[in-house]
Amino acid sequence: MAAARKKTNASVSPKGSLETLSQREVQKLRETGSGSVYALFRQCALAILNTGSHSDNAKTILEAYPDFEIRIHQQDRGIRLELLNAPADAFVDGEMIASTREMLFSALRDIVYTQSELESKRVDFSSSQGITDYVFHLLRNARTLRAGVEPKIVVCWGGHSISTEEYKYTKTVGHELGLRGLDVCTGCGPGVMKGPMKGATISHAKQRNVKGRYLGLTEPGIIAAEAPNPIVNELVILPDIEKRLEAFVRVGHGIIIFPGGAGTAEELLYFLGILMHPDNQNLPFPLIMTGPKSATRYLQQLHDFIGATLGLDAQQRYKIIINDPSQVAREMAQGIKEVTQFRRARNDAFHFNWLLKIDESFQHPFEPTHENMASLKLTRQQPVHELAAHLRRAFSGIVAGNVKDKGIRLIEQHGPYQITGGQDIMQPLDQLLQAFVDQHRMKLPGNSAYVPCYRLAT
């Protein structure tokens, strides 16, 4: 029988964001106390307050605190949040941990602003340019975009369910990045999303770099399964996975992919699909896949899958470096220098990659229903970047079925997703997914064996 979770009541005011608000803005925030916007904020707030949890099941976390409540009160200078039955681990001697308080109000800032943007009907979701402009405004409102700062943001992707050896390796790579003055951006959760940040904090301290950035980008559907780690000092919650992925590649200057599972494969396919677009053929964007010696087989399996589905050209868009953190950092630093020169020559912004062409097929939200998963076009009768988009959606659905509250409930109601495609695509897909299962990369280790949320057929 699980131990009872400790809960507490508290009152907290903003620090780091939302300190100064007009009365109208405060009233608008108070209106979030009902309806879907409040439910969304409650879910994100609970995940943030539950930082450090060893569960990656959003449904389980939500059900553990059914009586958790947030009340928004108006004050002369802003707002105050009253938290009822909140996770006690977010507090020390009655005071909320500073990083937790910052992230709590970052969540409120992003959710309210997103809703305001949608209600204004200013956003043009019918065009690729309109969607990119929307992502830009969300990031600018979060103060993520800093004009004039030299490129140095390294995006680190990888799994939340990784071995101790792989986690230590990510810390070492992060340490090497920090020694070279590079900042870290991740999905903000545990595992690979925490390790590089933890390593960089030490090397930034060694270099007396007090302005190190640890940028975490997430979205409401995943935050409860991958609660922000406490090192994150800039949290941004994008409205869906597609906006989150676009934010990564717009603000990042290079990408490192560590061992992971279905979510990592989704991220890799998303980025390779973009790089394979003809308009991005000559655009520099360093991409490195790396891991300790024990991850050699995993990296080779992922490399083979890319070759079998997207081909040799896609494989040539990245480098694989095994068990050499300093070499990873040197290659990344050199690649970012080339990015800097490229953007300076074309007068492109350092803080937002406007020149990167992202096809609309990568921008529109994919709802992983059983019908949509069954309708995926996993055949070679299409351009390679479009195949990458469909493969990305397949992995996105598997992630939803594994850890997202809505996806888990759909699987409980209707059984596994049915995914069909050509034999030459489905066979390597089946091999890769089975490898993830065998290597315990689908979910955090638990008491029961992993039950696939999908079935593959030709």
CA distances from 87 to 50, 111, 188 (A): 6, 21, 19
Which CATH code of 3.30.70.1350, 3.20.20.70, 3.40.50.2000, 3.30.1850.10 fits the domain covering 7-119?
A: 3.30.1850.10
Fold of the CATH domain 134-345: Rossmann fold (3.40.50)
Average pLDDT over residues 45-74: 72
Q: Distance between CA 269 and CA 389 in Å, rounded?
A: 7
At 211 the three-state DSSP class reads coil
Q: Distance between CA 451 and CA 432 in Å, rounded?
A: 16
Residue 2 has pLDDT above 50, yes or no: no
Q: Distance between CA 271 and CA 249 in Å, rounded?
A: 8
pLDDT at 107: 85
Between these two residues, 17 and 368, which has the higher pLDDT value?
A: 368
How are beta strands 214-218 and 417-420 bridged, if at all? unpaired
Q: Distance between CA 266 and CA 393 in Å, rounded?
A: 7
How are beta strands 79-87 and 7-12 bridged, if at all? antiparallel
Look up tokens 């993520």; give the residue: 144
Average pLDDT over residues 19-27: 57
Work out the pLDDT band at 65, boundaries 50, 70, 90. confident
Buried-exposed string 278-302: b where 16+ CB fall within 10 A, e elsewhere: eebeebbbbbbbbbbeebeebbebb
pTM assigned to the model: 0.87
- Do 436 and 410 form a contact (C-beta atoms < 8 A)? no
Residue 17 has pLDDT above 60, yes or no: no
- Do 382 and 425 form a contact (C-beta atoms < 8 A)? no
Residue-wise pLDDT for 184-240, tens only, equals 999 988 889 999 999 999 999 999 999 999 999 998 877 866 778 889 999 999 998
Nearest of 329, 56, 57, 52 to residue 196 by alpha carbon: 329
Residue 450 has pLDDT above 90, yes or no: no
Q: What percent of the chain has a predicted confidence (pLDDT) above 70?
A: 89
Residue 330 neighbours by CB distance under 10 Å: 14
Residue-wise pLDDT for 356-414, tens only, equals 999 988 999 899 999 999 999 999 999 999 999 999 999 999 988 887 878 889 999 99
Q: Distance between CA 170 and CA 195 in Å, rounded?
A: 5
Domain residue spans of the chain:
7-119, 134-345, 366-457
- Asked if 7-119 and 134-345 have one fold, the answer is no
Residue-wise pLDDT for 252-303, tens only, equals 999 999 999 888 999 999 999 999 999 998 999 999 999 999 999 999 999 9
Q: Which amino acid is at 265?
A: A
pLDDT at 422: 93
How are beta strands 79-87 and 69-74 bridged, if at all? antiparallel
Residue 147 has pLDDT above 70, yes or no: yes
Residue 122 neighbours by CB distance under 10 Å: 12
* Secondary structure (DSSP) of 220-286: HHHHTTSPPPTT-SEEEE-SSHHHHHHHHHHH-SEEEE-S--HHHHHHHHHHHHHHTSGGGTT----
Q: Distance between CA 104 and CA 47 in Å, rounded?
A: 9
Give the lowest-confidence range in 104-108, 176-180, 240-244, 388-392. Answer: 104-108
Residue-wise pLDDT for 316-343, tens only, equals 999 999 999 999 999 999 999 999 999 9
Residue 1 has pLDDT above 50, yes or no: no
Q: Distance between CA 21 and CA 108 in Å, rounded?
A: 13
